[in-house]
Amino acid sequence: MPWRVNADFYRVWISEIMLQQTRVEAVIPYYERFLGRFPDIAALAAAPEQDLLAAWSGLGYYSRARKLQAAARRIVREGIPSTCEAIRELDGVGPYTAGALASIVFGLPHTAIDGNVLRVISRLTNDPAEISAPATKRRFDAVALTLLDPVRPGDFNQAMMELGATVCKPRLPLCDVCPVRTFCAAREAGTERALPVKRKPPKTREVRLALALFRNGSGIYLVQRDAGQSRLAGFWELPAKELFPGLRGRVAAEFSHQIVNDRFRVRVSDCRVPAELPAGRWVKPDEMDALPLATITRKALSAVRNAPGFSA
Ligand code: SF4
């Protein structure tokens, strides 16, 4: 992983925030671009919000980027925190991230328990408790603390996460090659595939989204979410078709996109430009990368560009 080379505070911190809710393979290119654009804490603290959101575009959960910058500004004022408790006070940092930073960067004896580690502990101890329950998390944290190597806590935490990600996998744990199989109670009991016990996820809700594509030469018309909108404030997107009663157009692209429990069925229609447009701007393809675009907008523009018979 690129963040394991020169594991300084900034690099590990950025990687841990990006890895919340996003897979490792998806994070790596974003991480490298982000560090190229904001090479240190001062650069991140000073970045205009639009540049920051543009660099985060596609990673989702954009409040992470805003909290990251708020924390960077605090660090510029107060210095890099070097205890787990002080790290925990930064915006966007929960117990897992604070433990990871304290142990990996400063070698402090704190656990870092992510979903992978929870799964490993539930199997090592053959514990059938539901893993999102606070009491279960507290119990598993106590187990992790008894296992933690006080001399190399950062390596221990990373090894536990790696064990969960690559060997003690959710559906098919690779017990035959597992380095801790002789200590594993679930393996002994034959219950490894039944663990961990998880709450049933809420039902997926289907949301239909109709977007209007207006073209003018090589430009595409985008509108910006205003600051009053809690989700994606400041982001640019295709206008919703419902803003133009009676507007018709040829279907240029259709696709699905899942955000947590919402499955969006998105239809993009190529429409004639109406006489009046809401506040927005014409954007050329080579200007898109500099703008914050939510994943649905990126997918829509890419689907349209790849649609047969379409030329932007
Ligand atoms: S022996 Fe199997 S269930 Fe136990 S920790 Fe290893 S991979 Fe997981």
- Of the residues 177, 180, 183, 191, which should be mutated to test ligand 1's pocket, given the most ligand atoms within 8 Å of the CB? 180
Let me know if residue 311 belongs to a domain. Answer: no
C-beta separation of 69 from 76 below 8 A: no
Does residue 312 have a pLDDT over 60?
Answer: no
Does residue 4 have a pLDDT over 90?
Answer: no
Q: Give mean pLDDT, residues 46-75.
A: 92
Asked whether residue 127 falls in the same domain as residue 170, the answer is yes
- Report the candidate in 154, 128, 149 with the shortest Cα–Cα distance to residue 139: 128
Q: Label residue 259 by pLDDT band (50, 70, 90).
A: confident
Domain of 236 in residue numbering reads as: 205-306
Asked whether residue 187 falls in the same domain as residue 282, the answer is no
DSSP string, 65-98: HHHHHHHHHHHHHH----SHHHHHTSTT--HHHH
Long-range contacts at 141-147 (CB < 8 A, ≥ 24 apart): 141/111, 141/113, 144/111, 144/113, 144/117, 145/111
Count CB-CB contacts under 10 A for residue 208: 8
Asked whether residue 43 falls in the same domain as residue 173, the answer is yes
Task: Tell me if residue 237 falls in helix, strand or coil.
Answer: strand
- Condensed to tens digits (0 to 9), the pLDDT of residues 265-289 reads 999 999 999 999 999 999 998 898 8
Whether the CB of 160 sits within 6 Å of ligand 1: no
Let me know if residue 72 belongs to a domain. Answer: yes
For residue 263, the domain's CATH number is: 3.90.79.10
Does residue 102 have a pLDDT over 70?
Answer: yes
Q: Give mean pLDDT, residues 256-264.
A: 91
Let me know if residue 312 belongs to a domain. Answer: no
Let me know if residue 30 belongs to a domain. Answer: yes
8-state DSSP, 227: T
Asked whether residue 163 falls in the same domain as residue 223, the answer is no
Let me know if residue 200 belongs to a domain. Answer: no
The three-point CA angle 130-135-137 to 5° equals: 70
> Which of 175, 194, 213 marks a domain boundary?
194
Asked whether residue 130 falls in the same domain as residue 210, the answer is no
Mean pLDDT of the chain: 92
Q: Label residue 309 by pLDDT band (50, 70, 90).
A: low
> Which of 194, 221, 242 marks a domain boundary?
194
Asked whether residue 10 falls in the same domain as residue 102, the answer is yes
Asked whether residue 59 falls in the same domain as residue 177, the answer is yes
- Which pLDDT score is estimated for 148? 97
C-beta separation of 253 from 312 below 8 A: no
Q: How far is the CA of 159 from the centre of ligand 1 (A)?
A: 14
- Condensed to tens digits (0 to 9), the pLDDT of residues 153-210 reads 999 999 999 999 999 999 999 999 999 999 999 999 999 999 999 998 889 999 999 9
- Which pLDDT score is estimated for 202? 86
Let me know if residue 8 belongs to a domain. Answer: yes
Q: Label residue 23 by pLDDT band (50, 70, 90).
A: confident
Let me know if residue 224 belongs to a domain. Answer: yes
Residue scoring higher pLDDT (70 or 21)? 70
- Condensed to tens digits (0 to 9), the pLDDT of residues 217-242 reads 878 999 998 876 667 888 899 999 99
Let me know if residue 199 belongs to a domain. Answer: no
Q: How far is the CA of 232 from the centre of ligand 1 (A)?
A: 40
> Which of 174, 194, 214 marks a domain boundary?
194
- Which pLDDT score is estimated for 22? 82
- Of the residues 116, 125, 167, 183, which should be mutated to test ligand 1's pocket, given the most ligand atoms within 8 Å of the CB? 167
Asked whether residue 188 falls in the same domain as residue 214, the answer is no
- Which pLDDT score is estimated for 117? 96
Asked whether residue 221 falls in the same domain as residue 177, the answer is no
E strand segments, 50-170: none
Does residue 70 have a pLDDT over 90?
Answer: yes
Catalytic residues: 16
- Report the candidate in 269, 253, 270, 266 with the shortest Cα–Cα distance to residue 295: 266
Q: How far is the CA of 117 from the centre of ligand 1 (A)?
A: 12
How many independent structural domains does the chain possess?
A: 2
Distances (CA, A) of 251 to 1, 211, 254, 268, 301: 41, 10, 8, 6, 13
- Which pLDDT score is estimated for 229? 65
Asked whether residue 189 falls in the same domain as residue 247, the answer is no
pTM of the model as a whole: 0.80
